[in-house]
Structure 1
Amino acid sequence: MAQRQVADKTNEITAFQPLLDSIDLTGTVITADALHTQHAHGTYLRSRGAHYTAQVKANHPGLFDRVRHLPWREITLDHHDRTRAHHRLEIRRLKTVAFAHLDYPDARQALQVVRWRKDFTSGKLTTERVHLITSLPPGTATGPQLAAWIRGHWKIENLLHHVRDRTFREDDSQIHIGRLPRIMAGLRNLAIDVHRQDGRTNIAAALRYTARDCRRSLTALGLTG
């Protein structure tokens, strides 16, 4: 829907508001990486009529300590799901708790997601706890809805940004002058989206297949029969 080039000698924080200024946010729920769990961002989103679900990490030590030290064992489970794919089993559990006062703009609830993963190939078992806050009042969204939004954010990370980083090696690109980085990012997104819509799940394999015959890329774009 929109993208913005991040200027040299800065980071994504400064591009947050200018990027979203171009989009109607009324009635939306915005998710972002923990880097964007900034008081100014929370205030901005609420002023634009949007709610947020923001991940809390150690870059906000006071907020992080308060949320993670809640008595989560005593809090009722709101949602859990279980999936088995790609040679692994994953179980996710979501808990939510209402807050009257939390040091973040309009924060109304704290959330904890616990993920258990077992890799059947290696036998390795991992546990991950993630803490979040949201401006959504209690009862506004169900446990399954909150879980879907959180998973949707991670899905974007895994299916887009991870592919750009690992398959296209975007961080190693020597193209860094003017608008060219933004143009190349758009082209990478286009390539990923075209292959996804074509039913490809392994983008690296799809790129190798397409590169072996110049006509295949035209076919994928619908330009040839």
Structure 2
Amino acid sequence: MGRTAAPVPLADAVTLSGFLGLVPDPRGVRGRRYRLSALVAAAAASVLAGARSLTAITEWIGDIPAWACRVLGFPVDPLTGTVSVPHPHTLRRLLVQLDGDALDRAIGAFLTARATPAGPGLRAIAVDGKALRGSRTHVTGHVTLLAAMDHTGHVLAQRQVTDKSNEIPAFRPLLDSVDLTGTVITADALHTQHAHGTYLRERGAHYIAQVKANHPGLFDRVRRLPWREITLDHYDRTRAHHRLEIRRLKTAAFAHLGCPDARQALQVVRWRKDFTSGKLKANRVRRLPWPSSPSSAST
């Protein structure tokens, strides 16, 4: 895990411009008045400052002082010293034509460099797919994004997938651009795949995989571990939001389970009682940590 300071719109945008060199420019060679890095950095600065639409982005750029435009990289007239800012339509056309995957990689590299390590230990990265709110139309479904996010809330990489069924083949391309050395990757049960585990171990990463009934063989082997004879490792009881939650954690070690470098299984049992309805719900989840060696399983 890492710590990241609060965003500073102009300073962070200028730093981001240094990572935009690999983003291809979709415009023709002739007629390029503004650098790609200046336009994208200005758009990023406006979003960090609170802009939430293309109209707000262009208005923010038009209102900033001349010195800020020079810092962002907009051209200066050599005779008058005035700074030229792009027309709103110029910025709109560029943002629509940009390669989304290339821009995601550039922003992910910037966020990775911006984060500072919080101390020794593994860095946690969660992989999850979500439907983009507001992306559904009367002729198309929701846009689904598969994203890798650290526990400070920063998206390190993301890819658009057609639907939930396409998340599995997008897993490796998503993480190819992320440095996985010394990290622990978490994901939902959809990504509990032998090939994913092998890939992560080759990249120097650890993996915590959820084991559910969609993998019946593995689920049965983990379920048959002697959980009743294992001592309880952790107990937690919380009462808030009109409900009572109790969590119990057990850990089982083994020599071989048929997964890449698997050394431990975790069983998390949670009871939740809703005081409003009086209903009691129990949930049992089993996970497999895949460490590089048995001694690192405690991390």
Check whether TM > 0.5.
yes
Partner of 1:91: 246
2:236 is equivalent to residue 81 of structure 1: yes
Partner of 1:4, secondary structure, is strand
Greater Cα radius of gyration, structure 1 or 2 = 2
Counterpart in the other structure of 1:64? 219
**Runs of at least 4 residues off by over 4 Å:** none
Shift of 1:45: 0.6
Structure 1 residue 7: deviation in Å?
A: 3.6
Contact kept in structure 1, 2:207 and 2:289, CA below 8 Å:
yes
Q: Does 1:125 align with 2:292?
A: no
TM-score scaled to structure 2, two decimals?
0.46
Relative to structure 1, is the Cα distance of residues 77 and 140 closer, same or farther in structure 2, using a 3 angstrom cutoff?
Answer: farther
Residue aligning to 2:189: 34
C-alpha distance in 2 between matches for 1:67 and 1:141: 17
Matches for 1:133-212 after TM superposition, within 5 Å:
133-136=288-291, 137-138=293-294, 140=296, 142=298
Which digits, 9 at most, give the CA deviation of each residue in 1:111-133, with x for residues without a partner? Answer: 11000101011111111111111
Q: 3-state DSSP class of the match of 1:23?
A: coil
1:45 aligns with 2:200: yes
Unaligned runs of 5+ in 1: 146-225
CA distance in 2, matches of 1:113, 1:42: 21
Residue pair 2:236, 2:248 contacting (<8 A) in 1 also: yes
Output the CA distance in 2 between the equivalents of 1:84 and 1:138: 36
Tell me by how many angstroms 1:9 deviates.
9.3
* CA spacing shift, 1:44–1:32, aligned 2, 3 Å: same
Q: Aligned partners of 1:28, 1:130: CA distance in 2, in Å?
A: 22
Pairwise CA distance, 1:138: 4.7
Q: Is 1:101–2:256 an aligned residue pair?
A: yes
Aligned partners of 1:9 and 1:119: how far apart in 2?
A: 31
Deviations 1:28-60, CA, capped at 9 Å, x for gaps? 110001000000000011111110100011121
Secondary structure, counterpart of 2:160 in structure 1: coil
Q: 1:34 to 1:8 in 2, by over 3 A?
A: closer
Kindly indicate whether the alpha-carbon contact (under 8 Å) linking 2:263 and 2:297 is maintained by their aligned counterparts in 1: no
CA shift for structure 1 position 105? 0.9
SS at match of 1:5: strand
Quick one: distance in 1 between partners of 2:234 and 2:296?
15
Shift in Å at residue 139 of structure 1? 5.2
Work out the CA distance in 2 between the residues paired with 1:27 and 1:80: 28
| SS of equivalent residue, structure 2 residue 228 | helix
Amino acid at match of 1:71: P
Q: Distance in 2 between matches of 1:10 and 1:63?
A: 21
What CA distance in whole angstroms lies between the structure 2 residues aligned with 1:116 and 1:23?
Answer: 36
| Structure 2 unaligned residues grouped into runs of 5+ | 1-155
Q: Distance in 1 between matches of 2:196 and 2:175?
A: 11
Say if 2:271 and 2:283, in contact at 8 Å, map to a contact too. yes
Structure-2 residue corresponding to 1:194: none
Q: Distance in 1 between matches of 2:294 and 2:206?
A: 13
> Matched residue of 1:17: which SS?
helix
